Amino acid sequence: DQQVKQNSPSLSVQEGRISILNCDYTNSMFDYFLWYKKYPAEGPTFLISISSIKDKNEDGRFTVFLNKSAKHLSLHIVPSQPGDSAVYFCAATVSGGGADGLTFGKGTHLIIQP
Amino acid sequence: GAGVSQSPSNKVTEKGKDVELRCDPISGHTALYWYRQRLGQGLEFLIYFQGNSAPDKSGLPSDRFSAERTGESVSTLTIQRTQQEDSAVYLCASSLELAGVEQYFGPGTRLTVT
């Protein structure tokens, strides 16, 4: 049973436009959410996170929105740039619950077209 | 400073052989995690080490998998009697204590069992 779901395996967006990546979760105990970006042959790199006490967190071109009632979060990238082309993983955890690691989605491959 | 390093980067082994994968975490990071990513799947949590505490092995897929960590440094993940289903990228991550939910990943070891 997948607790973190990214239903779009891939997404193609034109350079300069907004990229919106979606993520849904089922475990109501999750209270901390993260987005990781992964290039081929490299490990995932941390991008941005959000605590369940917030509904929005912004860092430069990246904004994460959290809708707790819908158990849904999204990552917005604006404007999209060619270097943003990568696989994006949504992850969730119970804060302080390191014993369970992070629960990841399957990832969304974002392709930025020139 | 140096990030998380893993070796080997690639390993091809015959079914039934044992393999050992190594992870060097970021210096000072007390928490260390192992994950596995099978083709087309998200990252799957395997095991977690925190300081000198006994590791949480709840994510290990079978008793053929074991892991050790020397103090708060190097960790090795051992897979005995490898099976083709063990083929995956094995990723190691480290973080600062339990509060450090932002985990920093190594580049991974790509294991292929023939």
To the nearest whole angstrom, how far is the Cα of A81 from the nearest Cα of chain B?
24
pLDDT at B98: 58
What is the pLDDT of chain B when averaged over all its residues?
90
CB-count burial class (<10 Å; 0-12, 13-18, 19+) for A80: buried
To the nearest whole angstrom, how far is the Cα of B61 from the nearest Cα of chain A?
14
A92 near A102, Cβ under 8 Å? Answer: yes
B95: which chain A residues are within 8 Å (Cβ-Cβ)?
98
pLDDT (tens digit, 0 to 9) for every residue of chain A, 114 residues total? Answer: 789 999 999 999 999 999 999 999 999 999 999 999 999 888 899 999 999 999 999 999 999 999 999 999 999 999 999 999 999 999 998 876 555 678 899 999 999 999
Contact B45 A4 (CB under 8 A): no
**Model confidence over B72-100: pLDDT tens digits?**
789 999 999 999 999 999 999 998 865 55
Contact B40 A106 (CB under 8 A): yes
Token pair belonging to A13: 């967006």
B104: which chain A residues are within 8 Å (Cβ-Cβ)?
45-46
To the nearest whole angstrom, how far is the Cα of B90 from the nearest Cα of chain A?
10
B99: which chain A residues are within 8 Å (Cβ-Cβ)?
95-96
Strand partners, B78: B20, B66
What chain B residue is nearest to A39 in terms of C-alpha separation? B107
pLDDT at B41: 82
Token pair belonging to B89: 């990228």
Q: How far is CA A114 from the centre of its chain?
A: 23
CA dist., res. A90 & res. B46, Å (int): 18
User: Which of B7, B9, B35, B101 should we substitute to test contact with A (largest number of A Cβ atoms within 10 Å)?
Assistant: B101
Percent of chain A with pLDDT over 70: 96
